[in-house]
Structure 1
């Protein structure tokens, strides 16, 4: 006789079974998420925070009399953030372009032409609103030209944006007559000195752009499509997404960020010239790379790119307070870029396989 509710041949209580995933495969062991590719951006960001801490420690060791002053330390921190603000805004746009499988070598030149155009006497006569509107429109239009050449002209992004870099610099020099154009608008100039609750307005603008970029990349269809286009454009096209038009929008977004940065740099220098934002394209690309953005496209984070910008700005500040040469600073930056690319090549899983071990 069997107990009620049981059947002959079946134990009253089944033995425990190993939990399985939806696909039927065993569930990953505890702690494996930290070692997975999904946790790679978190690991990288923590590593970049560690780099920033090391740089601060180096500053404390080399200039203890400065870092021992709490007021100086606070002011210096805001100085670093202000120096990072314009290039940080540009890096947000660059990150989207690289994730989408492209590259933009013309961002510095776009800033120059947007800054010069917005500070002409004719534009300044329309006031601060006219200057801001002009800088943004010029940036977006030049970005759209890049997008058209790449998406519909089928030019390689490197060649198209390289040509735009040369052409935009030349047009900026032609417009300005190779002269520095002074901004006489107090509202624009005050952007560099205004503070909101003790925080410089330039830093606030950077924070707003970074937050908007994070939401756009991680919480919208546009962001998901950007990752898809950069990861596998052919599969994305077959899925019904207009890859060409999306690529066009990515370069327009980069141009928009350049227009905003042009106003920020104009406010800081109270002027604009054809040579402004020189080599910004290299700084933006480098910051995006060390922040975890793959040059091949399909992966990247806005937060990581921001940390990359802060690392470079902190290095620049550290070299300045120690009176070290720009040449040495550039060599250090070059080394960091190489190291970041090597980290992308040999991530945790690849390294453990290389050493002949299997992650737990």
Structure 2
């Protein structure tokens, strides 16, 4: 008879009298240091922005803009964090966002109003995630190849739907969500959606069986299988989750831009992966933090905003992002080797 062993939940696990403390507790202080380090980097960027462009950067409207822009890629990053935690990767998230946004803003779809646009964006995202999941989990394809194929296909289909044209949204109830009149206590609705997705993602990853299974699959898929976890089904669910996040992000982007374009979501996959990595998620799987991923998104969005306010070239911005990614990976390798 095989006895399944459940990993400790949260911080409630207790070692038996006289036994050594569980190994997972050693990660808690390190995780706290990582989060504090990210907060320190974000605070330093705020100081830099405040010094270089005090009147513009610290303006309430600009800070609201930073948070709003972070919301779209942030929702995508939450889904990406789950996929990477399981040891996978999703290179198609940007293309899925583009496809969902243009499919949801066609004239035929807009005839169904707010609900029709939202439903279409979400269902297209989930559908693409389903295809990715089936190819990876049951088709035996390497995640890199499967999602790369989806990237090309989704971009091509988005271009075919739009014929290279911008599709303007004409539904007032959607456009009004981007107006300041719809802000709740000064917080844009898109930011509230991002906050809700973040909280749900954190709870699912840290307080549910689904989250523990995700970590187990990423840590050692064979051991997870022997423990009774259906690894293939778990991976399918994770790509469905990533597709769902892409669908939600597509709708947020529609609200933000008031249109659907085949160029939407350009390089989102790189930004989402980078944000997850600097947040502490291991590319090899088995360890992640939603909080760190969100801070990574805020760091990158703040950098972009500071560069824009100071009229610096985008190539310099990309170099800075690349340097941050390299530094984060080197730190990961060092901390992993000492664990």
TM-score for both structures, normalised by structure 1: 0.86
Deviations 1:182-230 (A, max 9, x none): 1111112222222112211011000000001011111111000000011
CA spacing shift, 1:52–1:24, aligned 2, 3 Å: same
CA spacing shift, 1:57–1:197, aligned 2, 3 Å: closer
Checking the alignment, whether the CA contact within 8 Å between 1:95 and 1:302 is kept in structure 2 is yes
Structure 1: 5+ residue stretches without partners:
1-20, 352-360
The answer to whether the aligner puts 1:320 opposite 2:311 as a matched pair is: no
Checking the alignment, whether the CA contact within 8 Å between 2:56 and 2:62 is kept in structure 1 is no
Distance 1:350 1:215 in 2: 28
Deviations 1:141-192 (A, max 9, x none): 1000000000111000000000100000001111112211111111122222
TM-score for both structures, normalised by structure 2: 0.91
Checking the alignment, whether the CA contact within 8 Å between 2:114 and 2:171 is kept in structure 1 is yes
| Structure-2 residue corresponding to 1:41 | 31
The CA deviation at 1:57 is 1.6
Checking the alignment, whether the CA contact within 8 Å between 2:86 and 2:235 is kept in structure 1 is yes
The answer to whether the aligner puts 1:272 opposite 2:260 as a matched pair is: yes
| Structure-1 residue corresponding to 2:6 | none
Distance 2:63 2:176 in 1: 20
Checking the alignment, whether the CA contact within 8 Å between 2:99 and 2:154 is kept in structure 1 is yes
Distance 1:349 1:108 in 2: 32
Query: Which 4+ runs in 1 deviate beyond 4 A?
Result: 25-28
| Structure-1 residue corresponding to 2:49 | 59
Residue 59 of structure 2 aligns to a residue whose secondary structure is: helix
Residue 72 of structure 2 aligns to a residue whose secondary structure is: helix
Residue 223 of structure 1 aligns to a residue whose secondary structure is: helix
Distance 1:343 1:268 in 2: 35
The answer to whether the aligner puts 1:211 opposite 2:205 as a matched pair is: no
| Structure-2 residue corresponding to 1:330 | 318
| Structure-2 residue corresponding to 1:230 | 218
The more displaced of 82-91 and 179-188 is 179-188
Distance 2:20 2:83 in 1: 38
The CA deviation at 1:79 is 1.3
